[in-house]
Amino acid sequence: MKKYIVFTLLMLLLTACGRSSIEPTSSYGNTVGQFEAMDEEGQPFSNKDMAGKVWIADFMFTNCKTVCQPMTYNMSTVVDELEKQNIKNYGIVSFSVDPKRDKPEVMKAYVKKYGSDTSHWKLLTNYDEKFIRQFAEESFKTIVVPPTKNNDQATHGTSFYLIDQNGTVIKDYIGKDTGDQKFPKDEIVKDVKTMIEKGPYKK
Judge whether 120 is annotated as a binding position: no
Read off the amino acid at residue 24.
P
Q: How far apart are CA 15 and CA 141, in angstroms?
A: 30
Contact 9, 120 (CB under 8 A): no
Q: Edge-to-edge, what's the strand order for the sheet holding 54-60?
A: 121-124, 90-96, 54-60, 159-163, 169-174
Report the distance separating Cα 59 and Cα 157, nearest Å.
7
68 is in an annotated binding site: yes
Nearest Cα neighbor of 196 from 48, 86, 58 is 86
Do the annotations mark residue 156 as ligand-binding?
yes
Q: Which positions make up the binding site for Cu cation?
A: 64, 68, 156
Annotated binding site: 64, 68, 156
